[in-house]
């Protein structure tokens, strides 16, 4: 085995050359084909795998219904816990994305190494302990898809109009991204929190490279490597390199340059060249060719929004379906309807839940309609819509390529100068999200009221108990799922106001406040998607009805006389209502007492099919 393979890993940096020579005798080689599984949840951790070439995706189930994904590549390793602890099980699944070559140090061979060369094994254990801590810390602070890695300590220098700066050689971003990192430590939420946005940026850059190559103004070899880098980012790779805060000055220039630099450096690497060799692939001259932040950035926003909407709609349709199923389940549960928190007239619990489903379902069409506004793109307008510094045929060609890449029926804006400065689509779509949030919040208010008690409230329904509700009151269980969805709604409503103000604040040929609009819209979409899944799966599915309590409330309610009015007449109904209020006796019993109806007639009247439909 080539010693360079092993000594190149930072994990073994403390070993001498002679110690590395000894260590390699304890390794085995393995090759995994594309889509081959390295390990699955429940498998025993018994191997440290060091990746020589290829790429491995590791994913694990999560409580938030998504699978956080980590990507590993050359000079990185998996299964380090196997050498530190015996008998632990994998909680994740690892799959080779492409043909991947590894060297393996099994726990069995490591135990043999400990016995025969204790000093070497101790050095490895110390390095592992440090690396595991760093890996856990990295995972705790970065969401979404990211690349797990460790620094080599190597540096490179880059230059811009402000001077030279040093960057870690592992970084795919460059000097302009570094300056943005230093300038914009604002929200703590970075670009990689929104993978669909990064995907949209890469799709724009890929379309630009293909368009410029076909127009003959970008070298085909350069374009080819740019496209390869973009394809990797679209597939979910290198998202950890998109590190800038979502809220930033410069109308999105820092975000655009973050994408340009990552794509350029990854293209260089694919070409076999060093990062920072911008004579070969330049972030501005090649990746950003024919573009300005002012058209590339909003185009990426629109593509990201369009591709996020199906996830939002899936969550909405799922919740509507769950509510509708509850409507059927509760179709025979008679209860009192209430207006202004006062008894009104009888209804079924099923009708109440079906109404929840219908009101949310109305917004499916609204979201579809709002999405159509994002199909109109400003790509090709460059700085202010005049198309300066782009090929005359670039705009049409770029639109054509975006259609091919995304499958979306995008079109060019009929007036690019108007399109560059217009943010009306953001305002309208944000308003639709606010409308949905308000409806969700009202439903959650109702669920909290209907489940209030359990003995001193409405008590029509029981919400599933998710966690103890008090640190001081034993047995208390709170409606935590509706409460959290209420809070999501409050945030979305606030986000909408921010989008409104940011859109109004635009000036002349550009709105400089698109970053905060993007941040708020993407946050609203993500929170609503997760909130609706959470509400449906962790709350509504588990709701049960207090049938007897609902029935007793109907029998005792003054509102029952309204339903009985056609049977006993207005004068008798008024008399019964007055006596019920004075004595506290139930309407049901008073009707029997005055022999206005027989018990069988009352029972028939209280049947949902008789009580709830219009009768002559």
Q: Which residues are catalytic?
A: 470
On whether the CB atoms of residues 230 and 202 are closer than 8 A, the answer is yes
Q: Which two tokens stand for residue 369?
A: 């309609």
As beta bridge partners, residue 544 has 462
Alpha carbon distance 240, 147 (integer Å): 6
As beta bridge partners, residue 335 has 347
Write the CB contacts of 497 (distance below 8 Å, at least 6 apart in sequence).
none
Q: Residue 507 burial by CB count (10 A; 0-12/13-18/19+): exposed, middle or buried? A: exposed
Alpha carbon distance 139, 60 (integer Å): 13
Q: Which two tokens stand for residue 332?
A: 């025979």
Alpha carbon distance 558, 149 (integer Å): 69
Q: Residue 518 burial by CB count (10 A; 0-12/13-18/19+): exposed, middle or buried? A: buried
CB neighbourhood size of 286 (10 A): 23
Residue with tokens 């709604």: 489
Task: Return phi, psi of residue 102, to 5°.
Answer: -135, 160
Alpha carbon distance 443, 558 (integer Å): 26
Alpha carbon distance 441, 41 (integer Å): 38
As beta bridge partners, residue 302 has none
On whether the CB atoms of residues 509 and 295 are closer than 8 A, the answer is no
Q: What is the DSSP letter of 75?
A: T
Max distance between CA atoms of the chain, in angstroms, equals 106
Alpha carbon distance 368, 366 (integer Å): 5
On whether the CB atoms of residues 195 and 265 are closer than 8 A, the answer is no
Q: Half-sphere exposure of residue 458, counting CA atoms within 13 Å on the CB side?
A: 21
Number of H helices, E strands in the chain: 22, 17
- Provide the sign of the torsion angle of the four alpha carbons 353, 355, 359, 362, taken in this order: positive
Buried b (16+ CB within 10 A) or exposed e, 422-443: bbebbbebbebbbbbbebbbeb
Q: Which two tokens stand for residue 254?
A: 């820092």
Alpha carbon distance 505, 507 (integer Å): 7
On whether the CB atoms of residues 397 and 360 are closer than 8 A, the answer is no
Indicate the Cα dihedral angle 31, 74, 48, 110, nearest 10°: 100
Alpha carbon distance 124, 126 (integer Å): 5
On whether the CB atoms of residues 308 and 396 are closer than 8 A, the answer is no
């Amino acid at each position: 085995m080539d010693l360079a393979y092993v000594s190149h890993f930072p994990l073994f940096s403390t070993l001498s050359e002679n110690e590395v020579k000894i260590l390699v005798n304890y390794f085995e080689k393995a090759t995994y084909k594309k889509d081959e599984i390295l390990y699955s949840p429940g498998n025993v951790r018994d191997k440290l795998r060091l990746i020589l070439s290829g790429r491995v995706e590791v994913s694990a189930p999560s409580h938030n219904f998504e699978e956080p994904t980590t990507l590993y590549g050359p000079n990185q390793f998996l299964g380090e816990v196997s050498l530190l602890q015996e008998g632990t099980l994998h909680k994740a699944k690892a799959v080779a994305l492409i043909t991947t070559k590894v060297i393996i140090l099994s726990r069995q061979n490591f135990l043999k190494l400990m016995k025969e060369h204790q000093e070497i094994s101790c050095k490895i254990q110390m390095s592992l302990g440090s690396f595991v801590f760093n890996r856990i810390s990295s995972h705790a602070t970065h969401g979404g898809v990211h690349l797990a890695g460790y620094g080599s300590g190597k540096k490179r220098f880059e230059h811009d109009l402000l001077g030279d700066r040093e960057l870690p050689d592992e970084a795919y971003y460059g000097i302009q991204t570094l300056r943005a990192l230093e300038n914009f430590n604002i929200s703590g939420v970075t670009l990689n929190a929104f993978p669909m946005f990064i995907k949209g940026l890469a799709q724009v850059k890929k379309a630009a490279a293909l368009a410029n190559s076909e127009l003959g103004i970008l070298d085909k070899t350069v374009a080819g490597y740019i496209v390869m880098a973009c394809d990797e980012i679209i597939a979910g790779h290198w998202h950890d390199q998109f590190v800038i805060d979502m809220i930033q000055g410069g109308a999105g220039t820092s975000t655009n340059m973050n994408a340009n630099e990552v794509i350029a450096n990854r293209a260089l690497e694919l070409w076999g060249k060093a990062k920072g060799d911008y004579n070969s692939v330049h972030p501005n001259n090649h990746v950003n060719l024919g573009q300005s932040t002012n058209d590339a950035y909003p185009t990426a926003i629109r593509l990201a929004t369009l591709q996020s909407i199906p996830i939002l709609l899936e969550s909405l349709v799922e919740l509507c379906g769950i509510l509708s199923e509850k409507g059927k389940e509760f179709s025979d549960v008679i209860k009192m309807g209430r207006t202004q928190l006062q008894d009104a007239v009888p209804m079924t619990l099923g009708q109440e839940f079906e109404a929840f489903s219908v009101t949310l379902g109305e917004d499916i069409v609204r979201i579809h309609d709002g999405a159509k506004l994002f199909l109109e793109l400003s790509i090709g307008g460059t700085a202010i819509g005049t198309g300066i510094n782009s090929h005359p045929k670039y705009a049409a060609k770029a639109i054509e390529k975006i259609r091919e890449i995304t499958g979306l029926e995008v079109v060019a804006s009929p007036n690019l100068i108007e399109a560059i400065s217009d943010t009306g689509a953001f305002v309208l779509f944000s308003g639709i999200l606010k409308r949905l949030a308000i409806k969700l919040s009202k439903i959650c208010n109702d669920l909290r009221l209907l489940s209030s008690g359990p003995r001193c409230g409405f008590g029509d329904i029981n919400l599933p108990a998710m966690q103890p509700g008090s640190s001081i009151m034993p047995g208390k269980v709170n409606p935590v799922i509706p409460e959290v969805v209420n809070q999501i709604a409050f945030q979305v409503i606030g986000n909408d106001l921010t989008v409104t103000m940011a859109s109004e604040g635009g000036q002349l040929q550009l709105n400089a406040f698109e970053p905060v609009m993007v941040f708020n819209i993407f946050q609203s979409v993500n929170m609503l998607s997760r909130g609706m899944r959470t509400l449906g799966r962790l709350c509504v599915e588990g709701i049960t009805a207090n049938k007897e309590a609902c029935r007793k409330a109907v029998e005792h309610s003054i509102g029952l006389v309204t339903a009985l009015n056609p049977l006993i007449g207005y004068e008798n109904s008024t008399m019964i209502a007055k006596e019920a209020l004075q004595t506290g006796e139930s309407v049901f019993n008073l009707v029997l007492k005055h022999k206005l109806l027989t018990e069988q007639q009352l029972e028939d009247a209280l049947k949902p099919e008789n009580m709830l439909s219009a009768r002559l």
